[in-house]
Homo-oligomer: A and B are copies of this chain.
Amino acid sequence: MDVDLRKVRYFVAVAEELHFGRAAERLHIAQPVLSRQIRALEDELKVQLFVRTKRATELTWAGRQLLEDARPLLASAEAARRRVVRAARGPKTFTIGFMPGITVTAAVRAFTAQHPGLTIELLRTTWDDQVEVLHDGRADVSIVRLPIDQQGLTVRPLFDEPRVAMLPADHRLAGKPSIEISDLADEHLLQHPDAVPEWRDIASELRDGRPRPVPTLHNVEEKLEHVAAGNGISILPLSTASFYTRPDVVSVPVDDLGPNHVCLAWTATRRSKAVQDFADIAIRVLKS
């Protein structure tokens, strides 16, 4: 009748390892058990998932299809579970994720007025986990900065805001009224290249596409610390830049840098009146 999620999880392990022994080890079960579970799954679906030749294991087309579907399925099961556990705590709570520098007060106020019985929680996110908190059920909605992986999410645009370059106070460009991206071509960018798509182009043009290693800096404070130390520069949305101020770092407008798109996102598979209401309010209140 229903597929067994345990078997699906086992399947994913085998599909990823392409090796029953290693997969079994990873799952902390014995190899024969795993062989039998996979065979049981194949029997249930009446479909062959792997071609086992002696000496090699590989996926069939059906297996590829299942692998494609399995991960989101397991993820949404896990997210549902987390949401249920969370819901048990309060009469009803509603968690809003937000990136630092974004002001959600107005939307929260209006939403509270409309849902007096609801406990509203705020969850500060970073660029890395702004989407993750939705998938794992930690937040009901999240105010995100593009670009994000929109996979499995419903995303509604709220507003755009300009981005600025953060430079050490003693940098040669510090104090200029405005600069262009190409002025920064030789600088080391202290963030994931996806966060600043424009960078890829100038970087590959000017440096032959040799990407410099990107340090993993997960929050603004750390980035600014490195900027101040002269290890590189950072591109930030204006509101974030003006939220974190320190004397040894200055911000400079960049003429030809596209704006940062701020959106509201939530899990696409959920229909909840609260989520819908919040979306309506946020779009009305925050949309520029």
Contact = CB atoms under 8 A, between A and B. Distances in A.
B151 A269 contact: yes
Interface stretch (A44-52, A163-171, A225-233): A44-52
B269 A85 contact: no
B88 A47 contact: yes
A229 to B, nearest CB: 39
A84 B65 CA distance: 6
B45 A69 contact: no
A269 B68 CA distance: 10
A10 to B, nearest CB: 10
A68 B271 contact: yes
Interface stretch (A73-81, A124-132, A200-208, A254-262): A73-81
A250 B160 CA distance: 49
Contacts of A88: 47-48, 60-62
Contact of A76 (B62, B73, B84, B90): B73
A175 interface: no
B3 A92 contact: no
Contact of A87 (B64, B77, B268, B270): B64
Contacts of A69: 76, 79-80, 83-84, 270
A177 interface: no
A2 interface: yes
Interface in A205-264: none
A47 to B, nearest CB: 4
Nearest to A67: B84
A197 interface: no
A143 B270 CA distance: 22
A288 interface: no
Given A61-B90, A88-B60, A68 B2 contact: no
Contacts of A150: 154
A34 to B, nearest CB: 15
A48 B78 CA distance: 18
Contacts of A271: 68, 72, 151
Contact of A153 (B3, B5, B73, B268): B268
5 contacts: A2-B77, A61-B87, A62-B88, A66-B87, A70-B80
Given A3-B80, A69-B76, 12 more contacts: A2-B74, A3-B81, A4-B4, A46-B85, A47-B88, A60-B88, A62-B88, A64-B87, A66-B80, A68-B270, A73-B269, A152-B269
